[in-house]
Structure 1
Amino acid sequence: MTDTSSRAVARALPWPIGKPAVEIVDHIQQGAFQRSMSLLVAGTSVISGMEVAYEHYKGSYSNPVMYTPVVLSGALAISGLAAFLSRRAAQTILRYVSYATLVDGVIGFGFHIRGVARKPGGWRLPITNIVMGPPIFAPLLFGTSAYLGVITSYLRREEDYGLLGSIEASAAAGLVNDFREDIRTGHFQKHLCIVAAISTLCSGAESWYSHYKDNFKFRVQWSPILLTPLMLFATLSSVRSRRIANTLLPVASGLLMANGIVGTGYHIRGILRRPGGRKKPLYNILYGPPIFAPMLMAAAGMLGALAYLMGREKHA
């Protein structure tokens, strides 16, 4: 049977991309990519912060708590940049800000549930009020950047590449012997698969009721809904099966990332087609299709792709 593991695929790539691809996979599978992940955390937090900023702007910031994700997304972006420059910042500031942002996402989820309950009919009209009320899963998806920040805080720096033996020796001596060691050594594939499944379910639900409000005017609006069960099967099956993790998971993850990119293009086109188009960019971004929402689906695919590149847990 053909070896489809990430390392084998990287080695099969033609020169000149084969060698750097192998080095990238080796860095990831040794957990030595903290700087790179720090930049990813900073970038994703800026995007999610912009998304929540204008969604809450449409809600007139009627509750002061609506400012917290905007502030925390900025703090997380700054923490990510600091973590890129400093190992200590990665292990302290980034970790604490990420945990605070995760907590804020859970609290926001509660507020959104309350917002749905307070609409006329409350939970007696669940479909109508979920569709027309605050996006119920958006606060949890906002926590994706924070989750990546937590993971990043336990990773090793790129310059630590090749020092894996000393860490394994420490684990054997009983100095480090838990999930943190799995993260530091790049062995947390199952964990990432579960998180990717949760992210896929939430983003798929968001896509469904967002496109439902538009009456699925375009057939392409069904694509994220149809890809959701495929990704759920791939991620959850990968927890038990290494073979699926090396075959179906990267395919499904790639499809989700591509779908998110294409969806962003459609949302930009939808904004430009509104009355005023480019002449009223702020208004049309606020009240047109949510410009960054498709990237939530792409983020779920990114988590799946990252899981594909990881090794299996040693302490599962």
Structure 2
Amino acid sequence: MQAGGNRERAKLRVRERGLTSVNVHPLATLALAAAGVGLLTWFAAGRPQHSGSGPRRHFHPRSDVANTNAAQRLNHGSTLLAASVLLDSGLEHYRGQYFNRAMYTPVLVSSAVLASSLHGAGDAGARSSRVRHAVQALAGLTGVVGLGFHAYNVGKREGGYRWENLFYAAPIGAPFALTLAGVLGGAAERVRDADPRDALLLGLPAGPLLAAGTALGLAGTVGEAGLLHFRGAYHNPAMFLPVSVPPLAGALLAWAAVRGSGRRPLTRGWLWATAALGLGGVGFHTYGISRKMGGWRNWSQNLLSGPPLPAPPAFTGLALAGLAALDLLERREHA
């Protein structure tokens, strides 16, 4: 009984304080497992087709290519989101010492989604893949379940849903990035099989639906970034960028969805700015880690306690999905 009580108290201390440094060996083992899952997914999906290979449908070849290009851009967005989830959840759950075995799930599922999305991004064929589609559906479900786990983690703490717990408990909105990765990857497979003259998702026009969905995804990502940057007291003026540039891109994208028009240079330009911000955010977070005690010489501790390196590219992935939505909107106008 005493040994069991000691284990429970140790778990509680881990949950409250987190690990203080990175032990490379457990992470290396987990990385090998994730790589194995990714490779199995890649080979199960089959060999990617080159442009013009494989049987063609009755649609016009130029339209097939246009659909495939939009699908590949969605795959690029899904790839970046999956990579962000894989690295971020791997480190954050390691800080929690994987005290709950379910914490391995997003690492393994996101590695499968990453392989699936990379496979789709390199597939110039006009046919969808059942394996890729199944993996993306699994990712969407896993993200929703993870959202429940994180919401429970915050609510069970003393005081429940108050600012301190939202700051330091499991990030409540983080699992939804995996759902977004799965949704974008699944949409890519649907777009490949859709009639290029009027691509549909869930019985609705694909362009407006993807534009509206991406705008909502940007809003959620902005909320998560805003909460964590507020915890950091916005001590660097650059911390205001993720709560100013992406919201305008999302608003412009939502307006494009309402108007049903993809010919919007301002919206495209702001989406590209959001994509650049996501990549530039990695540089800012790298600088933030270097400013902590010991800098990168003390990387094993500062990677866990500093700003999350893998998080900002989520903006880039969503921006690419928004650009694909605009492409579909514009093609529908000309159909």
Q: Structure 1 length as normaliser, TM-score?
A: 0.74
Q: CA deviation at 1:204?
A: 0.7
Match status 1:45 vs 2:73: no
Change (3 A) 1:243 1:313: closer
Change (3 A) 1:80 1:224: closer
Does the Cα contact within 8 Å between 1:257 and 1:299 map onto a contact in 2?
yes
> Is the deviation greater in 279-288 or in 101-110?
279-288
Q: CA deviation at 1:96?
A: 0.5
Change (3 A) 1:31 1:310: same
Change (3 A) 1:168 1:283: closer
Match status 1:250 vs 2:268: yes
Show the counterpart of 2:160: 122
Q: CA deviation at 1:42?
A: 4.4
Q: 1:142-161 counterparts in 2 under 5 A?
A: 142-156=178-192
Aligned match of 1:111 in 145, 149, 162?
Answer: 149
Q: Distance in 2 between matches of 1:156 and 1:243?
A: 21
Encode CA deviations 1:194-223: one digit per residue, 9 max, x unaligned: 111111111111111111111111111111
Aligned length: 269
> Is the deviation greater in 107-116 or in 145-154?
145-154
Q: 1:1-316 counterparts in 2 under 5 A?
A: 30-33=66-69, 34=71, 38=75, 41-42=78-79, 44-83=81-120, 84=122, 90-123=128-161, 125=162, 127-156=163-192, 179=201, 188-242=206-260, 246-311=264-329
Q: CA deviation at 1:44?
A: 4.2
Change (3 A) 1:90 1:78: farther
Q: CA deviation at 1:51?
A: 1.2
Show the counterpart of 1:160: none
Q: Distance in 2 between matches of 1:194 and 1:41?
A: 16
Does the Cα contact within 8 Å between 2:214 and 2:318 map onto a contact in 1?
yes
Does the Cα contact within 8 Å between 1:235 and 1:245 map onto a contact in 2?
no
Encode CA deviations 1:27-59: one digit per residue, 9 max, x unaligned: 798312356655664454233211111111112
Q: Distance in 2 between matches of 1:301 and 1:39?
A: 10
Encode CA deviations 1:75-133: one digit per residue, 9 max, x unaligned: 2233335554696995211111110110000011111111111121003x2x3322222
Show the counterpart of 2:53: none
Q: CA deviation at 1:264?
A: 1.4
> Is the deviation greater in 106-115 or in 242-251?
242-251
Q: CA deviation at 1:137?
A: 0.9
Q: What letter corresponds to residue 117 of structure 2 in structure 1? A: G
Show the counterpart of 2:56: none
Q: CA deviation at 1:65?
A: 1.2
Does the Cα contact within 8 Å between 2:68 and 2:124 map onto a contact in 1?
no
**CA RMSD after TM alignment:** 3.1
Q: Percent of pairs identical after alignment? A: 22
SS at match of 1:204: helix
Q: Unaligned stretches of 5+ in structure 1? A: 1-25, 158-163, 172-176
Does the Cα contact within 8 Å between 1:249 and 1:304 map onto a contact in 2?
no
Change (3 A) 1:168 1:73: closer
Q: Distance in 2 between matches of 1:82 and 1:242?
A: 30
Q: Distance in 1 between matches of 2:304 and 2:291?
A: 14
